[in-house]
Structure 1
Amino acid sequence: MKFSKSICTKKIIFILNFTLALVLFGCEKEYSRLSIQEELLADVEKFELKTNEFLQIAEKETDQKKLRDAFKSTRLSYKKIEWAVEYFTPDPARFINGPALDELEVAENKFLPPNGFQVIEELLYPNYEPKNKVDLVREIKMIKANLNQVRQSLSAITISDDFVIDAAKMQINRILALGITGFDSPIALQSIPETKTSLNALGILIDKMDYKGAKSKQIEQKIKDLCLQAEEYCHSNSDFNTFDRAYFIKNFLNPIHKNLISFQKTNAIKNIDKNNVVNPNAASIFDKDAFDVNAFIPSKEYQYTDQKAALGKQLFNENSFSKDKTRSCSSCHKPDLAFTDNLKTNKSLQGGRLSRNTPTLTYASLQNAQFWDMRQLDLEKQSTDVIQNKEEMHGNISEITEHLNKDKNYLKSFQAAFPKSNKIEQWQIQNALASYIRSLNAFDSKFDKYIRGESTDLTSEEKLGFNLFSGKAKCATCHFIPLFNGTVPPKFNTSEHEIIGTPAEKNSLKISPDLGRYTQHQMPQLKNAFKTPTVRNAAITAPYMHNGVFSTLEEVIDFYNKGGGQGSGTIVDNQSLSSEKLNLTEKEKKALIAFMETLTDEKYQH
């Protein structure tokens, strides 16, 4: 049988088109985009493979370079999934990449020893000792054990878009406060390459959100471009000590966070309340309204209002709270001195000296514990503690409540602040005073305005100081950005103490006899432990430390530069601060002080 040329041609074209369709259909099926959860679980598997490889090397090798290379590679694999592990499975995350310090359960008088990457880092740096092989292998196996729990949890949950966006925003804040500062790589100093990997993961994450609108696509592309540019910046500027964090935050991290908010709003992705400390609508963590003081209150009836704060200001200056009617809260916490007194320690009612320095009340509301020894969990209890302290005010809160109920003006003020109540109650006095303190968070310093993009007014010396503070000098590993206190990002639901070996007297090698938190909880890890205060307004709140031993910021920096008490030669068995010298130059010390001066609130600037 013969076929015409045209029929043969048509048949060939049909066969080719059919074959092409099969190929395309097959390719599409084979290479379809993985969901966020599928991609995440695939990355978890890759992390497990890296962990297994690391374990095999640790069991067989003593070569320091091979062990370190395996460690770095495994950590980078973890950074790919950190956004999800930390967000969805925080308990096992603590034992994969938590701080290399005992985790204390003070209420139960027990502690959990540290585990994970940061413990491993201390085994491998500055030098690996083969005798530590057993410990190294154990720590890697601990990571593997916790990884099983992570996998099970991430397989079982539904990872919806609202949680993904919230986790992405939290990861930006984690990179900003804990990543680029070296918090979780304090010895190996691999923070910048790890930041690159973390941002790469976020770029892929946003790419998989797959929203169709033109505006959404535009914002999505902007986020991916910023992540890529930030990665390139990390690649080109990978040295930890010279990395320009001020530039990186202002030009990459803040804009990424701002665009995540825009992406969320454009696609009507709801907010969730997993982290109630940070305002979910804040463009960045440096916004004036980024932090919610109500996240630190005992219960909902204690919520902040302007009326309560106004009443609290009046009570703050009330002398009748003290037994001899001569002392108010403002006697020690002077408003014009950022609510300090510029004294080493203030006078007691008996005429002697109090044992501890008067800390600033500015930003005190953004902490999870009060007093140097952290003995009270909230500002309400703090006020009563001071009023009834025999050395400070020696007042009686019950008598004060009775006295105020007889005062018509106060009754009127309390009625305005607490409209549901017909009489003045003790908790209301506490709440009003606490509310006034909650009103003292300005976030309007020179640094705040610069980092938010409201001004370009930061000198090269001040920028260097910030980069030192959050880099080489390691200040930000305890005084966390952006509160610059011990409240731990990115959840801000705990506040830390430190043991730094503060001397009893200037230039003395004898440690301060004040045992700090140990006086409340007799655990050896708490001897000489004190709350990490804010560095905001530090330039005007001298003297420093719990006992006011240092008169100037220069003395403080010199103390830390030597490695704290232990580095200076003082015996401090449980020092949490590294005793290694910082090796700061005189220029760098000056720059650090210049930066800290930019943290002074506008009202205190002269």
Structure 2
Amino acid sequence: MNFKLSFPIVFFVIAIWFWNQNGISKSDYSENNFRHIITTQAKTLAKEIDKLNTIAISYQNKCVTVEQLRNQLKKTRLSFKKAECILEYYYPKHIKSYINGPPLNHLDPYPIGEEHNSDTHYYRLTPEEIKKSQPLDYLETDHYRGAPKVVTPVGLQVLDEMIFDDDINADDVLKLTSDLKDNYVILVKTLEMRNYFYDHEIMEATRLELVRIFSMGITGFDTPGSQNAMEEAAVSLEGIQEVLQPLLLKLPIAEQEELKKQFQNAIAYLNKNKDFNRFDRFTFITSHVNPLYKALLQMQVSLQIKSTSEISRETTSWNAYSVSIFAEDFLNPYYYTILKKSEDSEALQELGKQLFYDTSLSDSGKMSCASCHNPDKAFSDGVPKSLSNIEGKNVKRNSPSLVNSVFSDRFFYDLRAQDLEEQAGHVIENHMEFNTNFPELVKKIKNNPDYQQPFEKAFGKKDITRYRLSAALASYVASLRSFNSIFDQYARGELKGIPSQIKQGFNLFMGKAGCATCHFAPTFTGLVPPLFHENESEVLGVLAKPNTFDVDEDLGRIENGFTEDNEEIYRKSFKTMTVRNVKLTAPYFHNGAYNTLNEVVDFYNKGGAAGLGLTYEVPNQTLPPDKLKLSKKEIAALIAFMESLTDNPVSKFKNQ
């Protein structure tokens, strides 16, 4: 018998083979069910955006009230929250840039050069048409790219801040809603054209949304004007439950009912406790978000759904098998280093440790990495600005902690290094620090018999090179990580009965005090959740000394040497460092001018430089200038919480 396979059948057979070769089988997606739910959510949002634009037109014509405008914005935002987990998972760049990014001036993600504005030779489209042809995540943004330029923010967060302000500009509202409508259309089209929604993608999108709800939603990051955070978080949970339905139906009935109950309880808690300042965020994370996060992992394991990192063999920033948002393995350090996990070893860490504490490597023979990063002080040094190798001189800035510092996409206060390996190079070559270079360093180590055995143990018989030295230092610094403070243990449920002052302080940090809108949980740094791919920097208007009216003169990020950072929005902008281990790392800020946490909190409580009336000196402050009105009792609680994030790193990391 002769068989002839048509092209579609051959293609189908090849596709099945491809899925199996990549760890994906036909059972790994629930195509029709996912598609219906996702496209329904997306289309519903499109309708609400259209209504918002229509209301904005009517508001400009004075045909509707401000309350009607606010109500429609609220409906639109809730519709976005229902679809958020999928939209943010597949199109995070587009969402941040055009749909729901923070209300701050920023660099244009796709600046088109003036010389290209009239070009039509590429696919017969103009550059502007190309820009709107696909989501930003899929565009080849080097086409027609011009010089960096700063643009004003657009999207739902900006509208939330604007429409809930006392002074509303109708023209601006209309422009923003029209832009929102134009920028959203492409997402609906792209979702409709998408071939597959895989089970592992849905699982990860929903678990990451839980991280987003906790670290950004209930903190007020998304709702700077309305503070409608709890209702939006409840709708986000409803959206997760909807999208998961095809997978939930694959579970045994008892497991389905238990998960359904957990979702219902979390949603009910949010709907019952809507007061932004009084909301108990600690109870929410420990009783609802973390249990749901763990339950969805158990669901994934039960359904034998692999992770993206397993299927694509990618190194991801987030560990899809972590059981808690505060788990020690929640983030993957090897995403942030050139060093791969397969290349790392205990021997390499030990070599890095030896290099870290070796004063002979510096030109003066008196300075080591530990000179500015003392393990007794969580790898900071306890002085305002670290001592240099020149007697009587100090380096430019304060020395930050190295514990958990690996979890960054850029390093130093001014973000001038892009990885740990490059960071080491800056220190080695700085004339105020090691004052040497890699050729000299390699020569010294080759001539030092104390390094022969450790180097061979780490690399075998391979030659000593700058890249291997950098890898060893990166390995050691990457090992200086810990998420096992008293607070972490409370958050994971390992310790019971959290002291009321620490609980109050956490709730203030995540709510009224606004700390968590810059120091994002769980790292409590500027590493932006839930993808943890980028670091934020902020313009705070730090003073030369507390309780003065003299703004510190350090220009920060604008002078880091990157062309794209040479913009006014980055003048006096500094990386948002961690508040973990702050009990051990005084003095504070980049200039080390603040000796106590009370002084630091007082600075924020007054609204930074702008809150003190210094807007001329710091015109681009990103810290809200509004006074926080924290009482002495609240300040004490806030400090108690921050001090509960102490990990006692000496016992784990100190050189013996």
TM-score (norm 1): 0.91
Q: 1:578 to 1:342 in 2, by over 3 A?
A: same
In 2, distance between residues paired with 1:541 and 1:176? 27
- Structure 2: where are the runs of 5+ without partners? 1-30, 110-145, 652-656
The answer as to 2:627 corresponding to 1:581 is yes
Counterpart in 1 of 2:159? 120
In 2, distance between residues paired with 1:306 and 1:169? 32
The answer as to 2:230 corresponding to 1:169 is no
The answer as to 2:397 corresponding to 1:356 is yes
Q: What pairs up with 1:396-415 in 2 under 5 angstroms?
A: 396-415=437-456
Q: State the 1:511 CA deviation.
A: 1.3
The answer as to 2:597 corresponding to 1:553 is yes
Q: Which amino acid aligns with 2:217?
A: G
Q: Which amino acid aligns with 1:569?
A: G
Please identify, of 306-315 and 200-209, the stretch whose mean Cα deviation from structure 2 is larger: 200-209
Counterpart in 2 of 1:388? 429
The answer as to 2:183 corresponding to 1:134 is no
- 1:99 and 1:118 in contact (8 A); partners too: yes
The answer as to 2:238 corresponding to 1:200 is yes
Counterpart in 1 of 2:322? 282
Counterpart in 2 of 1:511? 551
Q: What pairs up with 1:533-572 in 2 under 5 angstroms?
A: 533-571=577-615, 572=618
Counterpart in 1 of 2:69? 67
Could you say which structure has the larger radius of gyration? 1
Moved segments of 4+, more than 6 Å? none
- Structure 1: where are the runs of 5+ without partners? 1-32
% identity of equivalent residues: 36
Counterpart in 1 of 2:350? 310
In 2, distance between residues paired with 1:542 and 1:105? 37
Q: State the 1:341 CA deviation.
A: 1.1
Q: State the 1:457 CA deviation.
A: 4.5
In 2, distance between residues paired with 1:320 and 1:218? 65
In 1, distance between residues paired with 2:224 and 2:339? 37
May I ask how many residue pairs the two structures share in their alignment?
A: 568
In 2, distance between residues paired with 1:213 and 1:487? 35
- 1:372 and 1:516 in contact (8 A); partners too: yes
Q: Which amino acid aligns with 1:133?
A: A
Q: Which amino acid aligns with 2:176?
A: E
Counterpart in 2 of 1:9? none
Q: State the 1:435 CA deviation.
A: 1.2
In 2, distance between residues paired with 1:172 and 1:56? 32
The answer as to 2:191 corresponding to 1:145 is no
Counterpart in 2 of 1:13? none
Q: What pairs up with 1:432-443 in 2 under 5 angstroms?
A: 432-443=472-483
Of 358, 361, 370, the residue aligned with 1:330 is 370
Of 187, 192, 198, the residue aligned with 2:225 is 187
In 1, distance between residues paired with 2:251 and 2:92? 34
Q: State the 1:122 CA deviation.
A: 2.3
Q: What pairs up with 1:81-120 in 2 under 5 angstroms?
A: 81-94=83-96, 95-104=98-107, 109-120=148-159
In 2, distance between residues paired with 1:213 and 1:149? 35
In 2, distance between residues paired with 1:67 and 1:100? 19
- 1:315 and 1:433 in contact (8 A); partners too: yes
SS of the residue corresponding to residue 413 of structure 1 reads helix
Counterpart in 1 of 2:78? 76
Q: State the 1:236 CA deviation.
A: 0.7
Q: 1:378 to 1:124 in 2, by over 3 A?
A: same
In 2, distance between residues paired with 1:336 and 1:105? 43
The answer as to 2:413 corresponding to 1:372 is yes
Please identify, of 500-509 and 108-117, the stretch whose mean Cα deviation from structure 2 is larger: 108-117
- 1:321 and 1:396 in contact (8 A); partners too: no
Q: Which amino acid aligns with 1:203?
A: Q
Q: 1:184 to 1:490 in 2, by over 3 A?
A: same
Counterpart in 2 of 1:262? 298
Per-residue CA deviation, residues 142-185 of structure 1 (Å, 9 max, x unaligned), is 22112211111111221121111010111111111111111111
Q: State the 1:211 CA deviation.
A: 4.2
In 1, distance between residues paired with 2:489 and 2:365? 42
TM-score (norm 2): 0.84
In 1, distance between residues paired with 2:216 and 2:95? 15
Q: Which amino acid aligns with 1:257?
A: Y
SS of the residue corresponding to residue 150 of structure 2 reads strand
- 2:161 and 2:223 in contact (8 A); partners too: no
In 1, distance between residues paired with 2:249 and 2:259? 14
Per-residue CA deviation, residues 531-571 of structure 1 (Å, 9 max, x unaligned), is 00000001111110100111100011010011111102223
In 2, distance between residues paired with 1:37 and 1:128? 42
Counterpart in 1 of 2:48? 50
SS of the residue corresponding to residue 492 of structure 1 reads coil
- 2:543 and 2:550 in contact (8 A); partners too: yes
